[in-house]
Amino acid sequence: MRRNTTVGTVDAEVLAYTAGQDRILDLALVEADCMGTAAHVRMLAAMPVDPPVLKAAEVEAVTAELARIVEDSRAGKFKITLEDQDVHLAVERRLTAKLGDLGKRVHTCRSRNDQVAVDLRLFGKVRLLDAM
């Protein structure tokens, strides 16, 4: 059986092996991913270009939905599916479902490596501050 993913079709067994437990472990990164995405969209809106990459109203819509994702995550209602593979695609899926194309535009000028690095740094920083 083959499943569609955002990068094409991947054999179900290959997807299960490569994603492994990532989707379960990534639930701990939901808040960090949402914080990083909120900061990124604010940066996109502040860029001195015409037309703006994102308008103020779009930033507010995205950040409001990111806040709802955090609330749902804290309540155990936000899920990362095998098809999502990780927290980044799960958040994008939710933003796109709620905000349409705007949900995809939040990744303008941002690589997956950027997202991973920001998420891990924010996660680590919060944990270190909690330990003090």
Q: List the structure tokens of 113.
A: 């490596």
Distance between CA 116 and CA 68 in Å, rounded? 21
Q: Where are the alpha helices (DSSP H) in 6-111?
A: 12-19, 22-25, 30-46, 56-74, 87-99, 102-105
Per-residue pLDDT reduced to its tens digit, 100-131: 999 999 999 999 899 999 999 999 999 999 99
pLDDT at position 83, please?
Answer: 80
> What is the DSSP code (8-state) at residue 108?
T
Q: List the structure tokens of 64.
A: 């409001």
Per-residue pLDDT reduced to its tens digit, 26-60: 899 999 999 999 999 999 999 999 999 999 999 99
pTM exceeds 0.85: no
Phi, psi of 2 (to 5 degrees): -115, 145
